Amino acid sequence: MGFFRWIGRILIGALAGIGLLVIAAVLLAGSVWRDLSNRIEPVPEQTLLTLDLSDGVNESNDADPFALAGFTRGITMPDLVLGLEAASHDARIKGLALKLGTGDLPLARAQEIRDALTAFRAQGKFILAFAESFGEAGNGNSHYLLATGADEIWLQPSGDVGLTGLRLETPFFRDALDWIGVSVQMDRRKEYKGAIDSLTSNSMPAPQRENLQQLVNSMSTALAQAVAARIGGDEEAARALIDQGPFLAADALKAKLVDRLAYRDEFETELDRRAAGAKRYALADYAAMVKPPKDAPQIALIHGLGPIQLAADGSPFGDVVMDAQTVSEALRSAREDPAVKAILFRIDSPGGSYVAADTIWREVARAREEGKPVVVSMSGVAASGGYFVAAPAAVIVAEPTTITGSIGVFGGKFVLSELWTKLGVTFDGVQAGANADMDSANRDYSFAGWNHLQASLDTIYQDFVTKVGAGRKLGADAVEQVAKGQVWSGADAAQNGLVDKLGGLSVAIAEARRAAGLAPDTPIQLVPFPQAPHDLTSFLEQFAKAAETRQFALLGRIGRIAAGFERLLDANSSVQAQMAPVIPASR
């Protein structure tokens, strides 16, 4: 058996080496192709900007190897927001053609883009929006909310407007786990921390139902306000209209939800008429041309995206995570850089490891203590550990629909002993140390093990609320009122002291200027930290590191399949103390 495993490892290593060379060659070709074919032409004197949301909108392209090599075309949120802000004051820019209706678009991100569109129009620019349909290939509610920031909304005659209101729901696995023989031994702090309810209940407990109903009510207010502004009615009328959705194209036109039913070619003809003589120019290219003065003050931009963990897995193809090592080093570097006047920390995270979150928290707190202001800009989600790392910031900015809060913790493990019995699998072994088997998935917690879990949850929860209180300048009672695992919308969080300002990146940058003692109209350089080398070089370094440590994630999976039975015998399903909430699916 050992011989075959040895041969397998040799083959996997060889395949990994070949894979590295092939992918490196492909990405090198992509990089060269991008440099040769994507040379940005100067901005014409008469320009119509274009933005196609089906190309994708990312918080950052740093974690996307295909974006690094030039194969993907998505625009980042900073480029989109700052590009529109610059274009709004550029006499060469006549307007914007917006294509939407397809692609993933969280409600908070839609709201932030809509804010940028509204500011663009306020400077006398026009926006025409076109969608084949709202809801067939993307979230109809969020895409339509974004569309309301345009002067006119055009819809294909065969399309519809999937304006249906919002729903949050989560699956419950109690019966399924009982059926397969999996026991859940977990606990939480406190009653609104709903993560374990999905595992221990058959339906939504009263505290979680109360909290999520409040959340969806608050988020639906933003949708109703956007619709009200669109149809020229009040919020009550907008809610009544939403209750009639979804809408066929003719009904949407009659309800004034759209301005015209037409096909894409007819929309293009109208654009040519409206912006006569103007040339089309992608917003992403325009944003790349916007360069502040080289001597402008610097504000560091640091992203904290995805679940929080101590370190990334080393693979450039892995999931996006907020790894404590990278983010902490970025915060430290920005804090120590005398050219950096303030730090803008952009967060989109549901939480994760308490230890990793605490590591990042320390660097945010140190920056504030040493006089380097940190302004947090929350995107779609900044909950649990995602809020923990934001707590010491000088200013916290969120969109009204940002999911935030969830100040609480849960932990424990799954016990699989009954499942193994059903499968005819037995375990045996030896140990040294009374608690060496505490996290074993093959036996219940001992009395000492359960007490250790309880002490850990108490300690983490107390640390969480204490640090939130200190960072937000709230007393213990005030923090407890908004804690207990409750999830808040950004709008509600602004009312209870967890958020300072409502808005997106533009508002956060304005707050960073103010915190740094700069005038509101001072040009600034938004400098990403960590500062990476050349795009392709950065990717290849990540890839090489992954190959050394894991022999490339995809090929590593082949090896894991080959050794699957051996790993099964070593199964350990312990769940360490986590700060992550369960964010239900939304419509």
What pLDDT is attached to residue 549?
47
Tell me the pLDDT tens digit for each residue of 203-216. 999 999 999 999 99
Top-ranked range on mean pLDDT: pick from 7-16, 188-197, 469-478: 469-478
Same fold, 2-167+210-289 and 298-426+435-554: yes
Across the range 263-273, mean pLDDT stands at 95
Q: Using an 8 Å Cβ cutoff, are 66 and 317 in contact?
A: no
List active site positions.
Answer: 193, 384
What pLDDT is attached to residue 184?
93
pLDDT band at 312 (very low <50, low <70, confident <90, very high): confident
Give the type of residue at 393.
Answer: A
Whole-angstrom distance, CA of residue 147 vs CA of residue 127:
10
Q: Using an 8 Å Cβ cutoff, are 394 and 500 in contact?
A: no
User: What does the angle CA 43 – CA 46 – CA 51 come to, to the nearest 5 degrees?
Assistant: 65
Q: Half-sphere exposure of 561 toward its Cβ, with a 13 Å CA cutoff?
A: 7
Residue 283 has pLDDT above 90, yes or no: yes
Residue 580 has pLDDT above 90, yes or no: no
Average pLDDT, the chain: 85
pTM of the full structure: 0.85
3-class state of residue 426 by DSSP: coil
- Domain segments of the chain as ranges: 2-167+210-289, 298-426+435-554
What pLDDT is attached to residue 538?
53
Across the range 320-340, mean pLDDT stands at 95
Top-ranked range on mean pLDDT: pick from 31-35, 263-267, 544-548: 263-267
pLDDT band at 519 (very low <50, low <70, confident <90, very high): very high
Whole-angstrom distance, CA of residue 426 vs CA of residue 419:
10
User: What does the angle CA 403 – CA 409 – CA 412 come to, to the nearest 5 degrees?
Assistant: 130
Higher model confidence: residue 225 or residue 565? 225
Closest CA to 185 of 388, 430, 418: 418
Whole-angstrom distance, CA of residue 238 vs CA of residue 228:
5
Share of the chain above pLDDT 90, in %: 68
Across the range 449-462, mean pLDDT stands at 95
CA 481 to chain centre: 26
pLDDT band at 33 (very low <50, low <70, confident <90, very high): very low
- The region of weakest confidence among 105-109, 349-353, 528-532 is 528-532
Share of the chain above pLDDT 70, in %: 80
What's the burial of 135, exposed, middle or buried (CB within 10 Å: 0-12/13-18/19+)? Answer: buried
Pairing mode, if any, of strands 374-383 and 168-169? unpaired
Domain 2-167+210-289: give its CATH superfamily.
Answer: 2-enoyl-CoA Hydratase; Chain A, domain 1 (3.90.226.10)
The CATH class that applies to domain 298-426+435-554 reads alpha beta
- The region of weakest confidence among 355-359, 485-489, 533-537 is 533-537
Residue 568 has pLDDT above 50, yes or no: no
What pLDDT is attached to residue 104?
85
pLDDT band at 135 (very low <50, low <70, confident <90, very high): confident
Residue 123 has pLDDT above 90, yes or no: yes
Residue 27 has pLDDT above 90, yes or no: no
- The region of weakest confidence among 142-156, 387-401, 427-441 is 427-441
What pLDDT is attached to residue 115?
95
Top-ranked range on mean pLDDT: pick from 20-29, 164-173, 187-196, 481-490: 481-490
Tell me the pLDDT tens digit for each residue of 536-563. 555 555 555 554 444 444 444 444 444 4
Residue 108 has pLDDT above 70, yes or no: yes
Query: Which residues lie across from 578 on neighbouring strands?
Result: 353, 410
Whole-angstrom distance, CA of residue 287 vs CA of residue 80:
7
Higher model confidence: residue 23 or residue 75? 75
What pLDDT is attached to residue 548?
46
pLDDT band at 41 (very low <50, low <70, confident <90, very high): confident
| C-alpha Rg value of the chain to the nearest Å | 26
